[in-house]
A and B are shown apart, each in its own frame.
Chain A
């Protein structure tokens, strides 16, 4: 779930300055491959578990900060996280090792599945099965969306909810190109957010 939940609260059981263990390139690759292969429907939960709880390579706060950064930048969040994380310990090579671990092994699995689909995709039983998986997969996507929406609803963030609906209509119903919609929506949303924060402070 690369983008399903806001960064979680820091775990209370971790001391703020525990001795930092420096992972090597091989360790980075293996650790990210493990997290990635465990993650169906998203890797964030497993990344957090692996980095913070299991290996103690980062404190919960450091993890949240890093994830927040990767969340507001464009691109696949968890991929950004792997690269930033790896490079923090071992420079560019570390970033590449973590990235290769995260993406490489699952990529092989996905390609094998896609090759099977190419050869056997016309078989009726497989078509039906995949159609069923599709329905569930869409449901998973909707659940992630709902989980992300709840904080806005709880805060009664009407401006945010209005932005959400506007983007949904523009992209989902009107099918406008992403770049053009974002070139309007991002500045608008930033302006509204700033305005509201200033009013709250005043």
Chain B
């Protein structure tokens, strides 16, 4: 296929298009990224996808970094830049234009209504992300337990998530998981 000849273009339009449907941010788009990267385009295996997610969480910064890393594994640095710009550019420009329009109509009730309607959808998408990633990450009952305990601690405390990731890494290194 023509698009296989130039992976940069494939990355650009894949993520450019995906960003417009990324309701609820990058974490909510993980099922779609997984579907395209693993099932449709065979850019990476299930396991590599889970690793890429782990690396993106290990780096500080916005969740969108997972897109950077998918781009990197497909086409190196150029792929990383292309995927990131495609995922961020169109919606940033959209937000810029909408915010200029809305400064006049600041007290319109529409933003609140749209947001109320979209929040349940983004949570459902994140739950799907969790399921898809857990299927590959949580292969043993200790792994499942690690995920559950991390979720509970992160939910109930204000502990910096970095320490939880580190704890998971230490358990893995020690061969417990």
Contact = CB atoms under 8 A, between A and B. Distances in A.
A93 interface: no
Contacts of A111: 68-69, 72, 77, 80
B61 A102 contact: yes
Interface string B123-158: 111111111111011100001101111111111000
B13 interface: no
Contacts of B92: 75, 79-80, 83-84, 95, 99
A137 B54 contact: yes
Given A84-B99, A139-B150, A128 B120 contact: no
Contacts of A11: none
A154 B173 CA distance: 40
Interface residues of A, number: 96
Contact of B128 (A41, A152, A168): A168
Contact of A110 (B68, B99, B117, B169): B68
Given A74-B22, A75-B90, 17 more contacts: A36-B62, A40-B160, A69-B98, A69-B111, A76-B63, A83-B96, A107-B65, A131-B172, A132-B172, A133-B172, A136-B169, A143-B150, A145-B127, A148-B119, A164-B127, A189-B118, A190-B117
13 contacts: A3-B27, A42-B63, A78-B25, A84-B95, A103-B61, A114-B73, A131-B172, A133-B57, A134-B51, A139-B149, A171-B31, A172-B128, A182-B21
Interface of A: 2-3, 6, 36-43, 65-66, 68-81, 83-84, 87-88, 92, 95, 99, 102-103, 105-107, 109-111, 113-114, 117-118, 121, 125, 128-149, 152, 157, 160-161, 163-168, 171-173, 175, 177-179, 182, 185-186, 189-190, 192-194, 197
